A and B are shown apart, each in its own frame.
Chain A
Amino acid sequence: DAGVIQSPRHEVTEMGQEVTLRCKPISGHNSLFWYRQTMMRGLELLIYFNNNVPIDDSGMPEDRFSAKMPNASFSTLKIQPSEPRDSAVYFCASSLDRGYEQYFGPGTRLTVT
Chain B
Amino acid sequence: EDKVVQSPLSLVVHEGDTVTLNCSYEVTNFRSLLWYKQEKKAPTFLFMLTSSGIEKKSGRLSSILDKKELFSILNITATQTGDSAVYLCAVEARGGSYIPTFGRGTSLIVHP
Contact = CB atoms under 8 A, between A and B. Distances in A.
Interface of A: 31, 42-45, 48, 55-56, 91, 98-99, 101-107
A45 B99 contact: yes
29 contacts: A42-B103, A42-B104, A42-B105, A43-B102, A45-B99, A45-B100, A45-B102, A48-B97, A55-B96, A55-B97, A56-B97, A56-B99, A91-B42, A91-B43, A98-B98, A99-B31, A99-B32, A101-B34, A101-B45, A101-B48, A102-B45, A102-B100, A103-B45, A104-B42, A104-B44, A106-B41, A106-B42, A107-B41, A107-B42
Contacts of B103: 42
Given A43-B88, A107-B42, A99 B102 contact: no
Contacts of B96: 55
* Chain A binding surface SS class: strand
Contacts of A45: 99-100, 102
A104 B104 contact: no
Nearest to B44: A104
A31 B99 CA distance: 11
Nearest to B31: A99
Contacts of B100: 45, 102
A81 B14 CA distance: 47
A83 to B, nearest CB: 24
A42 B31 contact: no
Contacts of A104: 42-44
A2 B109 CA distance: 29
Contacts of A91: 42-43
A53 B51 CA distance: 30
Interface string B72-112: 00000000000000001000100011111011110000000
Interface string B30-58: 01101000000111110010000000000
B92 A42 contact: no
Contacts of A42: 102-105
A26 to B, nearest CB: 12
